[in-house]
Amino acid sequence: MSQEDKIIEGQEPETNQKGYDTEPRWYVVHTYSGYENKVKTDLEKTVKNRELEEYFFEIVVPMEEQIEIKEGKKKVNLKKVFPGYVLVKMIVTEATWYIVRNTRGVTGFVGSGTDPIALTEKEIRQMGFDVASIKFDYIVGDSVRITGGSFDGFIGTVQEINKDKSKVKVSISMFGRETPIEVDFSQIDKIN
């Protein structure tokens, strides 16, 4: 199958005429309510049939467990976190945009007009999705400066490192006492 057959006749997948990012990023796709899982399934089939796995990385309908107790019995249900939305990690080109936009049940990308807007790393982290790994070369005992949040500008010492959550516990001096606070990896700088 030629590249032209994979997407749309006459368009190469690498075509990025609108200046879209060539790195995979998370985008939010708006769907008709109740069509989220159908959109996910249809999009996954299209990606597989057209051999576009190098452009589409993950398609997710965010769900959370909801515990319900009826007549003394515990029942766990899955509930959509964002009804009417599907998250897609993809490389946007004219052709991949066209495929997503023309999937049955999709009303469009979240963004301004026809341009999809990628989620920021902070938004992705808040939703619990992967983020480009932050280079972290601190060890317990290092002196650091807080560079964000409520404690911006404070200097402290690394007490604990939690790589799974991308968090660090730092001991800072506040009101003459050592106080432990938890901050993101991205909110500290090492002091030499």
Secondary structure (H, E, C), 37-101? HHHHHHHHHHHHHCCCCCCEEEEECCEEEEEEEECCEEEEEEEECCCCEEEEEECCCHHHHHHHH
136 in any annotated domain? no
The answer to whether the predicted template modeling score (pTM) of the entire model surpasses 0.75 is no
29 in any annotated domain? yes
- Look at the chain and report how many structural domains it folds into: 2
15 in any annotated domain? yes
16 and 59, same domain (yes or no):
yes
Domain limits at 78?
Answer: 3-127
Mean pLDDT value across the chain: 80
Q: How confident is the model at residue 20 (pLDDT cuts 50, 70, 90)?
A: low
87 and 12, same domain (yes or no):
yes
Tell me which residue has tokens 């467990």. Answer: 65
pLDDT over 90 (residue 40): yes
153 and 61, same domain (yes or no):
no
160 and 65, same domain (yes or no):
no
pLDDT tens for 59-100 read: 998 888 777 777 777 788 888 888 899 999 999 888 898 999
88 and 166, same domain (yes or no):
no
182 in any annotated domain? yes
H helix intervals, 110-164: 121-127
pLDDT tens for 107-140 read: 988 877 677 888 888 888 777 665 444 556 778 8
